[in-house]
């Protein structure tokens, strides 16, 4: 852990930004790089019924362009908080969020994952699967879940 990168998945929410603060703090403490990850969900293709709409490929391209711009903003903000020599790496993947986070962690051999939990409880927890909980249960490295 002390020599490997910290992976911080983000959906650009306020909660994810809060978790990123912890990731920056841990990276500074251990002197390791941060890997920022955003997962773009694949758009669903449906018949257009004669209505002019973007194709699924165009939607995916738009989502990736938006994610790329947001990543650049975040990197410029957190570079100021990190000592010289430490890097912030970014990656934008597409597909299922859980699978992509776990794949990124394994492929990059990260030492820790710092992930935000949106803290849903009750019915909203049942209707909206908790990605942070699943990552904590399935990852092969330590996971810090931040509320």
Domains of the chain by start residue, with CATH: 6-146 (3.40.50.620)
Mean pLDDT by 10 residues, the chain (147 residues): 88 94 95 96 61 68 93 94 92 94 97 86 53 94 94
- Contact assessment for residue 1 and residue 112, using Cβ atoms and an 8 Å cutoff: yes
Indicate the pTM of the whole model: 0.86
Q: In what order do the strands lie in the sheet with 88-94?
A: 88-94, 34-40, 6-9, 112-116, 143-146
Produce one character per residue of 41-60: b if its CB has 16 or more CB atoms within 10 Å, e if not: eebeeeeeeeeeeeeeeebb
Spell out the SS3 assignment of 130-145: CHHHHHHHHCCCCEEE
pLDDT of residue 61: 87
């Amino acid at each position: 852990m002390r020599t490997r990168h910290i992976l911080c998945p983000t959906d650009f929410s306020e909660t994810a930004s809060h978790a990123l603060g912890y990731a920056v703090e841990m990276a500074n403490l251990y002197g390791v790089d941060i890997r920022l990850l955003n997962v773009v969900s694949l758009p669903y293709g449906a018949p257009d019924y004669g209505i002019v709409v973007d194709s699924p490929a165009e939607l995916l391209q738009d989502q990736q362009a938006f994610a790329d711009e947001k990543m650049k903003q975040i990197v410029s903000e957190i570079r100021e908080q990190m000592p010289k020599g430490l890097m912030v790496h970014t990656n934008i993947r597409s597909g299922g969020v859980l699978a992509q986070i776990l794949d990124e962690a394994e492929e990059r051999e990260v030492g820790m994952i710092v992930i935000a939990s949106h803290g849903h409880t009750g019915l909203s927890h049942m209707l909206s699967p908790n990605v942070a909980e699943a990552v904590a249960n399935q990852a092969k490295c330590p996971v810090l879940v931040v509320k």
